[in-house]
Amino acid sequence: MPEFQGVDFLRLDDLLQDEEKLARDSVREFVSKEFLPLLQEHVRQDGSFPMSLVPRMADLGLFGANLQGYGCAGMNNVAYGLVMQELERGDSGLRSFASVQGGLVMYPIHAYGSDAQKDRWLPALASGRAIGCFGLTEPDFGSHASGMRTRAERRGGAWVLNGTKRWITNGTVADVAIVWARTDDGIRGFLVEKGMRGFEARDIKGKFSLRASITSELFLHDVEVPEENLLPGVSGMKGPLSCLTQARYGIAWGAIGAAMACYDEALHYAQERIVQGGPLASKQIAQQRLVFMLTEITKAQLLALRVGRIKDEGKLHHAMVSMAKMNNVDVALRIAREARDLLGANGIVDDYQAMRHMVNLETVRTYEGTHDVHTLILGEHVTGMRAL
Ligand SMILES: Cc1cc2nc3c(=O)[nH]c(=O)nc-3n(C[C@H](O)[C@H](O)[C@H](O)COP(=O)(O)OP(=O)(O)OC[C@H]3O[C@@H](n4cnc5c(N)ncnc54)[C@H](O)[C@@H]3O)c2cc1C
């Protein structure tokens, strides 16, 4: 395969600032030269991530890239989105690692943490010296996380946490878990640290999807968390939901990366593969597939870029992010399926990317608000009525 050059049918590069292109290109190179050569081994070993790359990812400013201060890169939201796109061009597991660390762990500490929490955790998380995870989902509560059973009760000067969180990215490697729990004052966020008594994480095995990513279950049995580990600045579902808006924004871009990888692979494959005396690319049905892919990628790029510019102007509504996440993941998954099909039998082995992206995108369609949940968010936004 020739080196990946990006997909830019409508000259969107003309709309990007130099520093945005620079951020994208440096991550593209990292993914091609440093990440992809390691990936196959980790995909074959369910639930493993190339942790040796964490310091390099930190050097590239990939953790909390759109946050200011504390050693963060302070990129604008379009540069941040392009970085997420390039990471997911490599693998959704790579983008998930950066999304969780930045959007789901560093963001809430940055937005709602005390000065002491920020000073202690943000530089460590930005530099990759510490890893974080985000514990919202429970075995019985995913889409409707507000029904959570995990509880925090005040005892003396501390909080005591009990409950189970499931499907938690990076749970077993995390030094700190942002755990959302029900209290008498509503839902609150707690910084639960590795090694606290009664806190245990175990990996979930047997995944077909997001194999190069660690997914865990967190168990909290009478875990005593000091008052200074409570996130002081937020209560209610606004806390976790505002984090999810950050991460979902990154996913809207990331899905484009997965789709571009599949399109690029399918295009080159179709040009080389000879069927019935001619290149597959010369056949009408193959061209129809490739044109569908290119058109949907281009529409997804326009959507993400516009949402990014609006976010930088401070005028973002969370329903806009819902549309971008819902649409871009949906089309990326359809593109990955088309690409897999076009590759024939070769499409089912891991020497090619399409099927890996396809099964990864099944997770991406489910997490951070399922496709249905974003449809319902938009439905409520346009009608003013919450669907039953
Ligand atoms: C690999 C992986 C990593 C993850 N990482 C994290 C993480 O780091 N932290 C974290 O907290 N969570 C994480 N999650 C969990 C993820 O966010 C949830 O799986 C997701 O919110 C969906 O919840 P659920 O699986 O319980 O599905 P459910 O909520 O049970 O949904 C099942 C089906 O019902 C549909 N549905 C739900 N509500 C409605 C409705 N009102 N009307 C119609 N249809 C509806 C859904 O769209 C879906 O099709 C991860 C999940 C995976 C797979």
Question: To the nearest 5 percent, what fractions of the chain are helix, strand and coil?
Answer: 55, 15, 30
Residue 100's pLDDT is what?
97
Q: For a ligand 1 pocket test, name from 367, 371, 378, 388 the mutation site with the most ligand atoms within 8 angstroms of its C-beta.
A: 367
Q: Is the CB of 367 under 6 A from ligand 1?
A: yes
Ligand 1 atom nearest to 207, measured from its CA: 1
3-state SS, residue 305: helix
Distance 369 CA to ligand 1 centre (A): 6
Tens-binned pLDDT, residue by residue, of the chain (388 aa): 889 999 999 999 999 999 999 999 999 999 999 999 999 999 999 889 999 999 999 999 999 999 999 999 999 999 999 999 999 999 999 999 999 999 999 999 999 999 999 999 999 999 999 999 999 999 999 999 999 999 999 999 999 999 999 999 999 999 999 999 999 999 999 999 999 999 999 999 999 999 999 999 999 999 999 999 999 999 999 999 999 999 999 999 999 999 999 999 999 999 999 999 999 999 999 999 999 999 999 999 999 999 999 999 999 999 999 999 999 999 999 999 999 999 999 999 999 999 999 999 999 999 999 999 999 999 999 999 999 8
Residue 318, judged by CB atoms within 10 A of its CB (0-12, 13-18, 19+), counts as middle
Distance CA 212, CA 261 (A): 17
Ligand 1 atom nearest to 371, measured from its CA: 47
Distance CA 169, CA 214 (A): 6
Q: Is the CB of 169 under 6 A from ligand 1?
A: yes
Tokens 């937020």 label which residue?
Answer: 234
Ligand 1 atom nearest to 210, measured from its CA: 1
Q: Is the CB of 212 under 6 A from ligand 1?
A: no
Task: Please list, in sequence order, all residues whose beta carbon lies within 8 angstroms of the beta carbon of residue 54, skipping any fewer than 6 positions away.
Answer: 128, 131
The 3-state secondary structure of 372-385, one letter per residue? HHHHHHHHHHHHCC
3-state SS, residue 197: coil
Q: Helices then strands (H, E): number in the chain?
A: 12, 9
